[in-house]
Amino acid sequence: MCGIVAVSANRNVVEVIVNGLQTLEYRGYDSAGIAIIEGDHIAIRKQAGKLSQLKQELAAHPVAGHVGIGHTRWATHGEPTSANAHPHDSNNAIAVVHNGIIENYRPLREQLIAAGYAFKSATDTETLVHLIHHYQAQGMGFSAASHQAIGQLEGAYAVAITCMSDPNRIIAARKGSPLVVGLGDGENFVASDVQALINETNQFHYLEDGDVVEITQDSCHIFDAAGQPVERELKTVTLSSEALTKDGYAHYMLKEIHEQPTAVANTIAERLYNGRISPYFINEAATAILQQVDNIHIIACGTSYHAGLVARYWLEAITQIPTQVEIASEYRYRKPVVPQNTLFLTISQSGETADSLAALRFAKTANYLSTFAVCNVANSSLDRETEHCILTHAGPEIGVASTKALTTQLTVLALLTLKLAEIKQVDEAVRKNLAEQLITLPGIINQSLLLDDQIKVMAEKIVQRDNALFLGRGVHYPIALEGALKLKEISYIHAEGYPAGELKHGPLALVDEKMPVIAVCPNDELLEKLESNIEEVRARGGELFAFVDHKSQHGLKDRVNHLIELEASGSFTSPIVFNVPLQLLSYHVAVLRGTDVDQPRNLAKSVTVE
């Protein structure tokens, strides 16, 4: 959350910074700003609202210069106003952009106010810029003052700093929030992720926690947490800038929903061969660990947590390995008991989710057999810090509401289940059937996408409602949770997901003719039970929407108000298939309500604060 771009070059850097911020808007979009060294002063432009507001401001009041920093914000401290937008400056001598939370900002702020500094914002960030100024005023150079001030910060941060007295240099640092350094020819860059710079360079250093970097047009020096010069590997990143466009779709979310057949096929490719998991899936060391696993703890947040919940049903039913799933922000602050031979597994699209990373860091100190992760971003903090990372091959996901990332997470978790099934010597015919279901999955998802017109009609029935209930049973219960989350996130309709059997224990009281109830009804051993739960809703006048397998012998046709039949899949991959029409349903409801589908209010994609 919050995106940072900083550039030192021999050309005007304003456009490079603004273009970089555009790709980082997924990280936060409540305000944006830029600071450019312009002759004898630092020119700052900042605006509340999206980057488009800043662009208008820049068109009205242009700036130009060879060195600058930029920021797109997701507020944690102080409202999303222009005053609280970054960059923050101290006496127009130093300017700072920051992603994260400075936890000790209150005492620092009080000390600085006592020393005579006047604060212009309510942010935690402003303390850093005055602190650097304070040390400079005592005679330190830009570099020494910045290192000194950064060393005093507690909490999480990625920062970039520019300074009038050393106008070619940018100093940046990270601890807990992501930051990469891009190297160009006569120009160097810093950004929150590689996407922001991919039009400028493909050469990147991934900074480690505690690193401080100093760049000028023609130099780049990295220092570790102890202040010692350090080399970080230079990586060549192959990411096409086309992957970051909407490709003709109205929204990134819609494009990403439609990319799912390909994303799943890419995630399976080379990992499944002749009905067996191939050595390309995980290496021998990881396989050796899986051979010892007696328990699994899955820790994640949001949509990734729902992926974990589905995996628990698969892992326990197919491999009989006891599996617990927990929300990372809860797990990290309790004292979990870790039985012998327990595998820690965390799931995160970005690989930068602060709570999941903290859980991983705790797990590395606890009695776990090993740490595994499922993640979409190679070289992310999670990828680098976990012992074994299995990448999803979803490609960049820009829409804040996760779609193809979840589908590919589930695909990886299904492959992992199959791998463990091989290790546990589950019957070969069973395993073959699971593998076949995975192979046919992209085609079946494609069929679900063809239901779009029917789903749009359903969306029109829901668009005026204030609340909705999503029901599922068994492995489809997490899909009901995810359906509700998606609707909340992008349409702002209050929605809850429930295991259908739980209705009578409370939520049934909410049901009347104004309550849409959306039921996920696959053709499985719980279908009859679910039908009874649906009857309970019908008897109370709730408006029923059902998604069913088209081959099932359900008796729902005359008992629900709206019914959509899906191409039948096997029971293993069924939760993945049923999730797709729910994504489309939320999407169409949100479009009809006129919300900002790709950038819903109050949210951001990569949640790098706790």
Task: Enumerate the active-site residues.
Answer: 2, 605
Q: How far apart are CA 397 and CA 376, in angstroms?
A: 9
| In the complex, minimum distance from the CB of residue 108 to ligand HGA, in angstroms, rounded to a whole number | 13
Q: Over the range 277-299, which residues count as b (16 or more CB within 10 Å of their CB) and which as e?
A: beeebbeeebbebbeebebbbbb
CB-nearest residue to ligand HGA: 1
Dihedral Cα 368, 419, 318, 503, nearest 10 deg: 70
| In the complex, minimum distance from the CB of residue 369 to ligand HGA, in angstroms, rounded to a whole number | 33
Nearer Cβ to ligand HGA (125/356): 125
Q: At what angle do helices 428-449 and 574-593 cross, to 10 degrees?
A: 20
Task: State residue 260 phi and psi, 5-degree precision.
Answer: -60, -40
Q: What is the binding site for ligand HGA (CB under 6 A)?
A: 1-2, 28, 73-78, 98-101, 123-125, 608-609
Q: Is 254 exposed, middle or buried (0-12, 13-18, 19+ CB in 10 A)?
A: buried
| In the complex, minimum distance from the CB of residue 1 to ligand HGA, in angstroms, rounded to a whole number | 3
| In the complex, minimum distance from the CB of residue 69 to ligand HGA, in angstroms, rounded to a whole number | 14
- Could you give the C-alpha distances from 343 to 292, 326, 340, in angstroms and in order? 9, 14, 9
Which one, of 164, 180, 212, lies nearest residue 6 by Cα? 180
The encoded tokens of residue 381 equal 């903090």
Dihedral Cα 71, 73, 79, 84, nearest 10 deg: -10
Task: State residue 9 phi and psi, 5-degree precision.
Answer: -145, 175
Strand partners, 494: 467
Omega prior to 87 cis, within 30 of 0: yes
Helix (H) / strand (E) element for 391: namely strand 388-391
Neighbours of 552 (CB within 10 A): 16
| In the complex, minimum distance from the CB of residue 100 to ligand HGA, in angstroms, rounded to a whole number | 5
| In the complex, minimum distance from the CB of residue 154 to ligand HGA, in angstroms, rounded to a whole number | 13
Nearer Cβ to ligand HGA (28/483): 28
Nearer Cβ to ligand HGA (569/608): 608
Nearer Cβ to ligand HGA (28/399): 28
Nearer Cβ to ligand HGA (18/85): 85
Q: How far apart are CA 152 and CA 108, in angstroms?
A: 9
Given its phi and psi angles, is residue 280 left (phi above 0), alpha (psi -120 to 50 degrees) or beta?
alpha
Nearer Cβ to ligand HGA (174/393): 174
Nearer Cβ to ligand HGA (28/336): 28
| In the complex, minimum distance from the CB of residue 368 to ligand HGA, in angstroms, rounded to a whole number | 29
